Amino acid sequence: MIQKVMVIGAGQMGSGIAQVCAQAGYTVVLNDMKEEFFQRGIGVITKNLTRDVEKGRKTEEEKQAILERITMSLDLQDAKDVDIVIEAAVENMEVKQSIFKQLDTIAPKHAILATNTSSLPITEIAAVTTRPEQVIGMHFMNPVPVMKLVEIIRGLATADEVYKAVEEMTLKLSKTPVEVNDFPGFISNRILMPMINEAIYALYEGVASKEAIDDVMKMGMNHPMGPLTLADFIGLDTCLYIMEILHEGFGDSKYRPCPLLRKYVAAGWLGKKSGRGFYVYN
């Protein structure tokens, strides 16, 4: 029975996950390395909840009750009495394996260890623990409070009852769970990133302007934003990183990152966050 949740990482994804867990009535321990990171995360959560109150979606009492369910943690030892840990640290295999190795010795025997990775193999993360059957992927979409989907990824050893518990939790968070097996990029990024990469190739080869490429996908395919705009929002460095994981994982040239994408990343044109990507942001 999942009641107490630890979320590791108070960044954009982690704070969003902590918010939806607290909204669903779970007790949440939000862990990060520094108090300032936690405070920044709690600031974002408070802002989101205040907006809900202003729009009449929640009462001030509900907002306060949700915030009271979230406590700060600066030490992984705080995982000693939780039922599930959802790790939302940086997208780096060594970092994740190091966290999972520590959690394996700290978290209670029954605890599920979940990762919010968007592309790294669950099986490989699970391999550093003595409980690979209790390791699973919970890939939330950004922004977490708004987006309905959670990709639940089974590692090679993930037990059925662990999958079931995570699926039930996802439904309790008012999200839609989708079951996926552990292959590079899962489903979301395996399909999305090559589409973005292909759009970059079309620009690189001079097939059409960036505006034209985005308009075709927006107006012709009913996508809410064009692939080049979306790449800028995701971060071109992130897009390149995931394309490299797909390319390496499958060894297939169809996943080869476009040279223009590499060039932009090398130039520091990373999209919206750096002020310039395919488009210029002020």
Tell me which of 31, 91, 139, 197 is the catalytic residue. 139
Element (H, E) at 18: helix 12-23
Active-site entry in 189, 197, 244, 247: 189
Question: How many Cβ atoms sit within 10 Å of the Cβ of residue 130?
Answer: 9
Q: What Å distances lie between residue 214 and 43, 47, 228, 250, 254, CA to CA?
A: 34, 31, 6, 28, 21
Q: Which of 31, 73, 151, 197 is catalytic?
A: 151
Is 188 one of the catalytic residues?
Answer: no
Q: Where are the alpha helices (DSSP H) in 131-224?
A: 160-172, 188-204, 210-215, 221
Catalytic residue among 73, 116, 118, 119: 118
| 31 tagged catalytic | no
Asked if 73 is an active-site residue, the reply is no
**3-state SS class at 117:** coil
Rounded CA-CA distance 104/98 in Å is 10
Integer-rounded Cα radius of gyration of the chain: 20
- Is residue 151 flagged as an active site residue? yes
Please list the active-site residues: 118, 139, 151, 189
